[in-house]
Amino acid sequence: MLASELEEFHKRADAAEEGIREIKREIALLYHTQYVCTKCLLIKEKEKTIEKLQQENIKLKHRLEILKRTIETLKDKSSTMPNISESNDVISINNTLCKIFQKAINEAYPNVSNPPVIVTTSNNPKFGDYQCNSAMPLARQLSSGGTKKNPRDVANDIMSKLEKSVLIDKYEIAGAGFINIYLKRDFGQSTLSSWLKMNKVPPPYVKKKKVIVDFSSPNVAKEMHVGHLRSTIIGESISRLLEYLEHDVLRLNHVGDWGTQFGMLIAHLQDKFPNYSTITPPIQDLQAFYKESKTRFDSDEEFKKRAYQCVVKLQAFEPDITKAWKMICDVSRKEFEKVYTRLDIKLIERGESFYQKRMESIVKELESKNLLEEDNGRKVMWGEKHGNGIPLTIIKSDGGFTYDTSDMAAIKQRVEEEKAEWVIYVTDAGQSLHFQMLISCAKRADILKDFHRIDHVGFGVVLGEDKKKFKTRSGDTVKLTELLDEGLKRALQKLKEKERDKVLSEEELKTAQESVAYGCIKYADLLHNRNHEYVFSFDKMLEDKGNTAVYLLYALTRIRSIARTANITQEELRERVHDTPISLEHEKEWKLAKVLLKFPDVILSISQDLFLHPLCEFCYEISCAFMEFYDKCYCVEKDQAGVIVKIHMGRILLTEVTAIVLEKCFALLGLKPVQRM
Ligand code: ARG
């Protein structure tokens, strides 16, 4: 529409310009003749026409500029939208097929409301690349409405309405009424080529949102345990994924840095290090310090009383007490940060203490809305359905606030001040009732509106190899830094077993060691359905066969080395992308390409349900398809003396785009690829 309008304006502008030139020629001619006087009137008239034409020309040019700009912005937008005809860079094949079938089914059966549109990938190449399985349920739906039709006929009806698409090579009906869908290689080729040209996979289009991901969130002075490790790993990956999709993501560390435990910690600090305000006390082992104060708290009434007083003073922001509190938090923070740096985790600390003032005001608000109820001296709040679940405790019987109060204050701050449209909490599944109640209460208090999306991303517990709760041999909780150290040690052992220390430089070995150690811990966590508990086993996660980080890291270095052994530089590759088509003739080449083309769909589905294990499965699927391809298709041919005689550039390009997709997946999972390992 716009392009044709633009063409029309071009034509009119050209015509106007031609008119002007024509008249100028005439004037010159007229001046040239001797009959100036007699033609004078005529000239005046012509001059007027010139002026008009010139003005018209200026307007047209201006309009042309605007149109050009509009077209540019539209082009920009369409490249991020899954619009098949405009751009095929980031097409969600699933969504596109669903749209095509939806339309065909609606046309074939305009009277059926909400017809089932079922499109899946096919897991047997005999049945096409994708399948539409709508005919069977549709036939049932028709027969319950009184129209008897067998599913194969229904499939035929749908087929007759299917429109042509750049994605699809052919459709065919099979079995009881399945429609097999075959993708077009041209589409695959141009899509993968465009990724190569950009040297990245652009994200599929989604509506952008302001998202808060609340993850990691350990507690000051208490152990940062494997549960927090899971939250950290899962939360980081979810944040990376949402950032990739260009959402506006705020990563928050909701540290437990407020509450009654600080009373006893501060009281104990006052006794043990009376000059704490001038000299930083050596309490590196905060856990031990916590245990000592807890013992005193439980056995010494006098101490207990003083601890309570400290809490009151802390909540009143008394400077001396605040200083002690800050100091204790600093010690904890340094410990947490060590873990974050090692695992490459980015987080903004905004602990419970941040909400102190807001807790006071949320209590007032809930009270004024008559939402709080007396319960044995406590003030509680029920969710939308009274009596369902357990109520939130907003005020304890001693008047103090709770975890629930801080979460009510936080959710209000997040949606109202931060303008978050989506809040994601990543904690162990044990807290799911807490979050259900929180969401329900926030809705009841009219803090959450219909458009807000709130997810509790829960996860199961980590077990030791004895299938019992993960503990050290002596029965203590496992310290995270010690766990990471152990990972490093085991990774090095593994590399040495494979004699990699003999071929890698010291620096390469260290990079590989860290990548393997931290990568395997993260990957083992993300590989399992997060709802399930999983067994933490270094032996398993460090295996170099099967779906492990080690296997995948190796696979990527191998893929990356193919071009290198053929002596093709990255620069050359970047150039050849423009004149060489990716080779997709061989069955194995095409199979690998079809796996890669699923990437946008995998990403979209994960961003919906926030389960990351399908991304790990996808990585494994890519590397398996790659190995099959590499086994059957030579990329570089050598003679008996090992001299390169032929390079299949189209295949090298396929290896390159495989690496690009795999690297993107690694980046989302937090794996660091290495050049050599
Ligand atoms: N500190 C809590 C814990 O260790 C997790 C906090 C999760 N976030 C939240 N907003 N409640 O269990």
* 235: enclosing H helix or E strand: helix 226-244
Confirm if 202 and 185 have CB atoms less than 8 A apart. no
Give the pLDDT of residue 85: 36
What is the pLDDT averaged over residues 599-612?
A: 97
Residues 139 and 9 in one domain: no
Residues 140 and 271 in one domain: no
Task: Write down which residue in 349, 367, 383 finishes a domain.
Answer: 349
CATH of the domain at 641: 1.10.730.10
Residues 325 and 394 in one domain: no
d(CA 216, CA 586): 47
Residues 227 and 277 in one domain: no
pLDDT at 520 over 90: yes
- Supply the pTM of this predicted model: 0.85
Closest Cα partner for 372 from 351, 395, 346? 395
The pLDDT tens digits for 529-554 are 999 999 999 999 999 999 999 999 99
Task: Write down which residue in 403, 423, 457 finishes a domain.
Answer: 457
Paired residues of 453 in beta bridges: 422
Alpha-helical segments (H) within 528-637? 538-541, 549-565, 570-579, 587-596, 599-609, 613-632
Is residue 124 included in any domain, yes or no? yes
Mutate to test the pocket of ligand 1, among 232, 254, 403 (most ligand atoms within 8 A of CB): 254
Is residue 88 included in any domain, yes or no? no
Residues 532 and 627 in one domain: yes
Ligand 1 nearest-atom number relative to CA 352: 10
Rounded to 5 degrees, φ, ψ at 311 are: -60, -45
pLDDT at 37 over 60: no
Q: Where are the beta strands (DSSP E) in 335-437?
A: 348-349, 373-375, 378-381, 392-395, 422-426
Task: Write down which residue in 287, 314, 349 finishes a domain.
Answer: 349
Distance (Å) of CA 104 to CA 157, 178, 225 = 9, 15, 54
Ligand 1 nearest-atom number relative to CA 434: 11
Distance 352 CA to ligand 1 centre (A): 9
Is residue 470 included in any domain, yes or no? no
Distance 213 CA to ligand 1 centre (A): 12
Q: What is the DSSP letter of 469?
A: B
Residues 22 and 159 in one domain: no
Residues 396 and 364 in one domain: yes
d(CA 589, CA 583): 7
Tokens of 503: 């071929």
Residue pointed to by tokens 């890519």: 622
Residues 219 and 344 in one domain: no
Give the pLDDT of residue 86: 36
Structurally, the chain folds into a number of domains equal to: 5
Is residue 77 included in any domain, yes or no? no
d(CA 422, CA 455): 8
Give the pLDDT of residue 70: 61
* 295: enclosing H helix or E strand: helix 286-299
Closest Cα partner for 542 from 531, 532, 552? 552
- Which residues' Cβ are closer than 6 Å to ligand 1? 214, 217-219, 254, 256, 407, 410, 425, 427
Distance 436 CA to ligand 1 centre (A): 14
What SS3 state is found at 384?
coil
Residues 133 and 225 in one domain: no
Q: Which of 8-22, 370-384, 661-675 has the lowest mean pLDDT?
A: 8-22
pLDDT at 84 over 60: no
Is residue 394 included in any domain, yes or no? yes
What does the DSSP assignment read for 533-552? Answer: -EE--HHHHT-SSSSSHHHH
For residues 63 and 599, the model is more confident at 599
CATH of the domain at 165: 3.30.1360.70
pLDDT at 1 over 60: no
Give the pLDDT of residue 73: 52
Residues 168 and 271 in one domain: no
Is residue 677 included in any domain, yes or no? no
Tokens of 497: 């077993």
Give the pLDDT of residue 83: 38
Residues 489 and 620 in one domain: yes
Mutate to test the pocket of ligand 1, among 353, 414, 427, 480 (most ligand atoms within 8 A of CB): 427
Residues 148 and 281 in one domain: no
Is residue 40 included in any domain, yes or no? yes
CATH of the domain at 235: 3.40.50.620
What is the chain's mean pLDDT, rounded?
A: 91
Rounded to 5 degrees, φ, ψ at 91 are: -70, 130
Is residue 675 included in any domain, yes or no? no
The residue nearest atom 11 of ligand 1, judged by CA position, is 407
Q: Which of 25-29, 216-220, 283-287, 434-438 has the lowest mean pLDDT?
A: 25-29
Question: Which domain does 297 fall in, by range?
Answer: 260-349
The pLDDT tens digits for 139-166 are 999 998 888 999 999 999 999 999 999 9
- Above pLDDT 70, what percent of the chain? 94
d(CA 230, CA 461): 9
